[in-house]
Structure 1
Amino acid sequence: MSKKSNSSFDRRGFLIGAAAAGLASPAISQTLPVIEEPVEVARRNISSFRSLEWQPYFNTLNKGAILVDISSRALHMWTEDGGYKLYPSSVPLSEDLTRRGRTSVVRKVNGPTWSPTPAMKKRNPEWPDFVPAGPDNPLGTHALYLTWTYYRIHGTHDTRKIGRKSSNGCIGLYNEHIAEVFGKARIGTQVLLI
């Protein structure tokens, strides 16, 4: 085996290689160290990412419903026919950027453009005034505009943001997930952020 210079330990590559070595030679696999995930991390992720019923939150599924749980960083979507999907999301960086309550989808944009809000521009004067649709756009491939000015449910090209407190107020999804939500959401779909 050759050593890679200036590289960090790649756990996934090590485990895949160890599994392959174990298939080829059982004696070798018995001598490999076992690397386990911390139990606390696994428990926290499993307990916070759970499916929910819509009835405690909405009176009807007319036009569908979206529930965003800020604390578990998850977006729950129910279609009018009762279909359900759960998606990991990014949430606002801090409480002062977080808005909770009821709103609805008022506009859907495939290939959104982006401009920072006045508050964002004040905090980050170096940001551009406008970003066209494309791979550099912070709204990703699709955006659902809400009745609240400046708040969106949108995609992101920066997948590191999903599952984290990383936004300036919006709810972010993987681009493939926002494409699904975008396809199912209608103008008037009810949205609740808790």
Structure 2
Amino acid sequence: MSNDRFKLNSRRGFLAGSAAMLATPALAQTTGLDVNSAATTVVERDVTESVKRNISSFRTLSWEPYFDNTKNGAILVDIDSRAVHYWSEDQSVYKLYPSSVPLTQDLTRRGRTRVTLKDPSPSWRPTPNMIERNPEWPPFIGPGPDNPLGTRSLHLSWQYYRIHGTHDTRKIGRKSSNGCIGLYNEHIEELYELANVGTQVLLI
């Protein structure tokens, strides 16, 4: 094979490999119940709106700067890097997931909370504010492919706030929600099994 042909084939191989890598979703890495809000949440917005990805800060972290301990497990939601971190109580399991985050600062809530309910088959009701802004929205969507909460949901102690799945994978890695934190369905299903009611959660 001539040098020119070898260079051409090498270039094609590099470009094909790079395209495949960019098209592949980032993978997880191993290393007080509010009954009235149980079926409500803050839903993600249409991804066709002007939103941007940010994967430059997606990196592993240690739990020590954020938690005094890992009792009941710990979940750190890093809104700026659009990532969710999980540590098991004995610290033998560490997971890192890409996520969707709130669209604007006024929709963003930060601070300490906890998992108060694990919903294995979430349904969705728009909040009163959402109905006011979007009166055409349906009052209820049951479990299934049209549900904006995906296949699992972890309710937090803050009313209407969830860590949940999404059937629209384009939203992951974007500012695309009205407050909640979204994960790929396969990732929320894994986190759902790992987290417990009482798992501590910090949003930064």
Q: Is the 8 A contact 2:55 2:82 kept in 1?
A: no
Residue of structure 1 in register with 2:36 after alignment: none
Residue of structure 2 in register with 1:159 after alignment: 169
Residue of structure 1 in register with 2:40 after alignment: none
1:33–1:124 CA distance, 2 compared to 1 (3 A): same
* Deviation string, structure 1 residues 94-118 (Cα, Å, up to 9, x no partner): 1111100000000000110000111
Q: Is the 8 A contact 1:106 1:147 kept in 2?
A: yes
Identity of aligned residues (%): 66
Shift of 1:122: 1.4
Shift of 1:47: 3.9
Relative contact order (alpha carbons < 8 A, sep ≥ 6): 1 or 2 greater? 2
**What is the correspondence of 1:69-88 to structure 2 with a 5 Å cutoff?**
69-82=78-91, 83-88=93-98
Residue of structure 1 in register with 2:106 after alignment: 96
Q: Is the 8 A contact 1:120 1:168 kept in 2?
A: no
* Deviation string, structure 1 residues 17-50 (Cα, Å, up to 9, x no partner): xxxxxxxx8586278698698xxxxxx9664001
TM-score, with structure 2 as normaliser? 0.75
Runs of 4+ in structure 1 off by over 3 angstroms are 25-28, 30-37, 44-47
1:183–1:26 CA distance, 2 compared to 1 (3 A): same
Tell me, in whole angstroms, the C-alpha distance in 2 between the residues paired with 1:73 and 1:190. 18
TM-score, with structure 1 as normaliser? 0.79
Q: In the alignment, is residue 105 of structure 1 matched against residue 115 of structure 2?
A: yes
Larger Rg computed on CA atoms: 1
RMSD: 2.4
Tell me, in whole angstroms, the C-alpha distance in 1 between the residues paired with 2:165 and 2:121. 10
Unaligned 5+ residue runs, structure 1?
Answer: 1-24, 38-43
Give the number of aligned pairs.
Answer: 165
Unaligned 5+ residue runs, structure 2?
Answer: 19-52
